[in-house]
Structure 1
Amino acid sequence: MKHKTLALLTAAASLAGASQVRAQNGVTIYGTADAAIIYSSSQRGHANTYMNSGNLNASKLGFSGSEDLGGGSKAIFTLEQGFSIDNGAQSDPSKAFNRQSFIGLSNAGYGTFTLGRQYTPYWRYVGGLGPTGVLTGATGAHPGDLDGLDTTIRINNSLVYATPVIAGFQASALYGFGENAGAMGSGNTVSAALRYDINAFSVALGYLKLANNNLKGFAPWDPNVTSGSYAQSPVNAGYASARSVQMVAAAARYQASGNLMLGLNFSNVQMAPGADSLFTHQASFNTAGLISSYKVTPAITVAAGYSYTRETAANGISNPARYQQLSLEQTYDFSKRTALYFLETYQKAYGQTLGKDGVTAVDAVAVVGDSQNGTPSSNGKQFVAAVGIRHQF
Structure 2
Amino acid sequence: MKKTILAGCIAAVTFPAFAQNSVTLYGLVDEGLDFTNNAKGSKAYKMQSGDAQGSRWGLKGTEDLGGGFKAVFQLESGFDVNNGRLGQGGLGFGRQAYVGISSDRFGMVTLGRQYDSLVDYLAQTTANGNWAGYLFSHPYDNDNTDNTFRVNNTVKYTSPTFAGLQFGGTYSFSNDANFANNRQYSIGMQYATGSLLLAAAYLQANNPSSTAAGAINNGGDENFVANRLQVFGAGVNYTLGNATLGFAYTNSYITQPVSSGYVGAITPVGGATLSSLRFNNFEVNAKYQFTPALYVGGMYTYTRASFNATNGQSHPAWHQAGLMVDYNLSKRTDVYLQGAYQHAAGDKTGTVLDVAYVPGAADVSSTSNQLVFRAAIRHKF
**The TM-score by the shorter chain falls in which range?**
0.7 to 0.9
SS, match of residue 128 in structure 2: helix
Partner of 1:391: 379
The answer to whether structure 1 residue 371 and structure 2 residue 360 are counterparts is: yes
CA RMSD, Structure 1 to Structure 2 (Å): 3.1
Partner of 1:295: 289
The superposition leaves residues 216-243 of structure 1 with CA deviations (integer Å, 9 ceiling, x where unpaired) of x22xxxx68531258999xx99x73x21
Identity level (%): 31
Once the 2 structures are TM-superposed, how far is the Cα of residue 185 of structure 1 from its aligned partner?
Answer: 2.1
Equivalent of 2:256 in 244, 267, 273: 273
Are the aligned partners of 1:105 and 1:113 in contact in 2 as well (CA < 8 Å)?
yes
1 CA distance for matches of 2:352 and 2:60?
46
Pair 297,230 (structure 1): closer, same or farther in 2 beyond 3 Å: farther
Pair 53,272 (structure 1): closer, same or farther in 2 beyond 3 Å: same
Partner of 1:199: 194
Pair 363,167 (structure 1): closer, same or farther in 2 beyond 3 Å: closer
SS, match of residue 275 in structure 2: coil
Equivalent of 2:135 in 127, 134, 139: 139
Q: Write the letter of the residue equivalent to 1:273.
A: Q
Are the aligned partners of 1:317 and 1:361 in contact in 2 as well (CA < 8 Å)?
no
Equivalent of 2:231 in 242, 247, 262: 247
Q: Write the letter of the residue equivalent to 2:360.
A: S
Once the 2 structures are TM-superposed, how far is the Cα of residue 18 of structure 1 from its aligned partner?
Answer: 5.7
Are the aligned partners of 2:63 and 2:71 in contact in 1 as well (CA < 8 Å)?
yes
5 Å-filtered alignment, 1:148-187, equals 148-181=144-177, 183-187=178-182
Pair 191,324 (structure 1): closer, same or farther in 2 beyond 3 Å: same
2 CA distance for matches of 1:364 and 1:232?
24
SS, match of residue 296 in structure 1: strand
Greater mean deviation of Cα atoms: 70-79 or 14-23 = 14-23
2 CA distance for matches of 1:172 and 1:114?
11
TM-score where L is the length of structure 1: 0.85
2 CA distance for matches of 1:142 and 1:298?
29
5 Å-filtered alignment, 1:302-381, equals 302-315=296-309, 316-351=311-346, 361=351, 364-368=354-358, 370-372=359-361, 375-381=363-369
Partner of 2:114: 118
Q: Which runs of 4+ in 1 moved over 6 A?
A: 230-233
Are the aligned partners of 1:186 and 1:224 in contact in 2 as well (CA < 8 Å)?
no
User: How many residues are aligned here?
Assistant: 368
The superposition leaves residues 175-220 of structure 1 with CA deviations (integer Å, 9 ceiling, x where unpaired) of 0000112x2222210100011112211111100111112xxx22xx
Partner of 2:206: 211
Partner of 2:243: 260
Pair 328,227 (structure 1): closer, same or farther in 2 beyond 3 Å: same
Greater mean deviation of Cα atoms: 161-170 or 88-97 = 88-97
Partner of 2:260: none
SS, match of residue 377 in structure 1: coil
TM-score where L is the length of structure 2: 0.88
Once the 2 structures are TM-superposed, how far is the Cα of residue 87 of structure 1 from its aligned partner?
Answer: 1.7
2 CA distance for matches of 1:16 and 1:211?
55
Once the 2 structures are TM-superposed, how far is the Cα of residue 280 of structure 1 from its aligned partner?
Answer: 5.1
SS, match of residue 87 in structure 2: coil
Are the aligned partners of 2:251 and 2:281 in contact in 1 as well (CA < 8 Å)?
yes
1 CA distance for matches of 2:287 and 2:218?
28
